[in-house]
Amino acid sequence: MEVYSAEERINHLVREINRHNYQYYMLDNPTISDYDFDQLLQELIDLEAAHPELRRPDSPTQRVGGTVTKRFESAAHLYPMQSLGNTYSQEELTEFDRRVRELLAVPPAYVCELKYDGVAISLIYENGVLTRAVTRGDGSRGDVVTANVRTIRTVPLQLQGDFPPLLEARGEIIMPFRSFEQLNAEREEIGEAPFANPRNAASGSLKLQDSAEVAKRGLDFKLYFALGEQLPGDNHFDRLQALHKWGFRKPDVLEKVNGLSGIYQFLNTWDVKRKQLPYPIDGVVIKVNDFDQQRQVGTTAKSPRWAIAYKFKAERVSTPLLSVDFQVGRTGIVTPVANLSPVSLAGTVVKRATLNNADFMAEMDIREGDHLFVEKGGEIIPKIVGVDLDKRSPEAQRIPFITHCPVCGAELRKADGETGIFCPNADHCAPQIKGRLEHFIARKAMNIDSLGEGKIDMLYAHDLVTNIADLYALTYEQLLGLEKIVEDDSGKAKTISFREKTVQNILSGIEASKQVPFERVLFALGIRFVGEVTARKLARHFGSMDAVANAPKEELLEVEDVGERVADSIIAYFNDIENLHILMRLRDAGLQFTLNAEKSQTVSQKLNGKNIVVSGVFTVPRDAIKELVEQHGGKNVSSISKNTTFVLAGEKMGPEKRKKAVSLGIPIVSEEEFRNMLLD
């Protein structure tokens, strides 16, 4: 038997797994079974855990993240990252073509491609290994975000074939619409502001401190440029093809076109077809193809003369403002919302759009009866971009921001250093109370799904629940027969009332929530700026509610993701006497106020008699998932057979294993479904 050193074995595994990943993700042609792949990956994970000093920058385990960057360092670019000249008009394109031709003896051939709407990135490969990923920054220096970029599956960690010793690949990190929608839905559910568009979401994700979180954001990489010594190809088109051989995906769209008419045709086609793309683009890029010709045309200090971006116009309309509503959110922040005369824009009818905050209204100088310009930026959320001054009447009065809460009447305040104006009456203002209750019962918090917005409304209207602790004092008698008048589809009023079954469901849902782990209880409290991830980190750091409540600021700041703003908010929460009173009642009700230290103790019998195959990569180490199976009475088995109850599939559950499960009729369960299963 051959004996390998740990280092040799790690080197071998990294090479092998990267090669299989390439076969799987880039060529869609796996040459190994999923089971064997999982074995190799697990062996590497174990070896790296035992020998952290041997962990390599191109290790495939980096895909799942886990590296934490407190502050991003900056680094100088090898070559400056220039931007592109922009145009919105076809006339300017004619002008661009004329300038280019003037400088050349032979008319140029152009290449057209998509202008991805994301964040520019420079990837440095030394001896074929991705060693550094740097954002554009100011063009000469950017932020080093290597660990985060390594989690993006279409970024090769190790090049294949006859790559050069040094390569700089440039492209755009984008967030596909699906990931964007999912991310925003999750953020809204936990009361965090959604991202305005996929570009902001991509940029925010790249700056996350925890790369394991980045891995979950579904980012993608689109290559558009390569630099280095002695690269193959004497033109842009061929060079991008060569990069494909080394492990980059081919650009989805890359077209050689003939002259101006070819360019026009390309951009007219993509102005329409972009609506079917799964990711955002904001225009097309036209480049002179031949490198010699590029050199002859040259560059200015800011941008190359041999390329130009043609940006699609955002669709914009002007429509009358009917009125302004002021909405109070869970945290008390008051948001002005414009009610607009309905107008159709980029495929949907727009009736309302946010006016963000008092500063925005003042800057725009929005007045009564104004016509507002509405744009669909990035095709997603309609945005007010200005006032149609031609249509303003000379007497139009400014619309003042309200001074008192539209719901409870309390005098509004402005928070120091923040743009928001808020209602300070947190404990007695209906939308704030109901918002906190809804947050508390949400799936990712206490997961009391037998309650919902409608039922919370009812309980609140009958004065049965005015804070989260009141939920645990509800009785069968109080709930049975509780009535509410609602309108049916035809607008007729009818009375609905809680029957036995509903009441039982509500009470047992509340009872079950007493087993929800401490980290989610902490999140459920709705402390401002403490999202799901921060709550988990606080719980792990401090271990109990008392420890969090008594932590001095310096200690709070030691926790990853916790900065001044978050620390101050936590301290303010635990200094509020009403909150302390609520916490006392929650503790008495039996909620989990400490981290479950005894890991392998039996938690439930929910998986009793079930044989479970755990396969793939999860949000936590696979061993932790297997432990969960056992804690709930299940049995871990290693291969799929007709005796398997279900397959618990992580990220890398590939076609082979899937095929086997499907052919035997074995259900495939995702991590999320599995976790929900344990909470039911």
Per CB under 6 A, residues contacting ligand IVH are 82-84, 113-116, 120, 136, 172, 224-225, 285, 304, 307, 309
At CA 571, angle to CA 569 and CA 574, rounded to 5? 110
Residue among 122 and 357 whose Cβ is closer to ligand IVH:
122
Residue among 96 and 440 whose Cβ is closer to ligand IVH:
96
The least CB distance from residue 138 to ligand IVH, in Å, is: 12
Residue among 284 and 661 whose Cβ is closer to ligand IVH:
284
Residue among 31 and 83 whose Cβ is closer to ligand IVH:
83
Q: CA-CA distance, 7 to 55, in Å (whole number)?
A: 9
b/e map of 652-680 (b: 16 or more CB within 10 Å)?
A: bbbeebbebbeeeebebbebeebeeebbe
The least CB distance from residue 132 to ligand IVH, in Å, is: 17
CB-CB contact of 216 with 129 (8 Å) = no
Catalytic residues: 115
Q: Which residue is nearest to ligand IVH (CB)?
A: 120
What are the tokens at 254? Answer: 């890359």
The least CB distance from residue 86 to ligand IVH, in Å, is: 7
Strands (E), 388-454: 413-414, 421-422
Residue among 83 and 602 whose Cβ is closer to ligand IVH:
83
The least CB distance from residue 114 to ligand IVH, in Å, is: 6
Q: Quote the DSSP letter at residue 168.
A: E
Residue among 125 and 224 whose Cβ is closer to ligand IVH:
224
Question: What separation in angstroms does the CA of 582 have from each of 447, 489, 586?
Answer: 19, 39, 6
Instruction: Look at residue 404 and give its three-state secondary structure.
Output: strand
Question: What separation in angstroms does the CA of 24 have from each of 19, 32, 109, 387?
Answer: 9, 9, 35, 52
Crossing angle of helices 177-189 and 198-206, rounded to 10°: 80
The least CB distance from residue 136 to ligand IVH, in Å, is: 6
DSSP per residue, 57-111 = TT-GGGGG---B-SS--EEE-SS------EE--HHHHHHHHHHHHHT-SSPPPEE
Residue among 24 and 270 whose Cβ is closer to ligand IVH:
270
The least CB distance from residue 116 to ligand IVH, in Å, is: 4
The least CB distance from residue 305 to ligand IVH, in Å, is: 10
Q: CA-CA distance, 557 to 564, in Å (whole number)?
A: 7
Q: CA-CA distance, 609 to 625, in Å (whole number)?
A: 17
Q: CA-CA distance, 250 to 556, in Å (whole number)?
A: 46
Instruction: Look at residue 629 and give its three-state secondary structure.
Output: helix
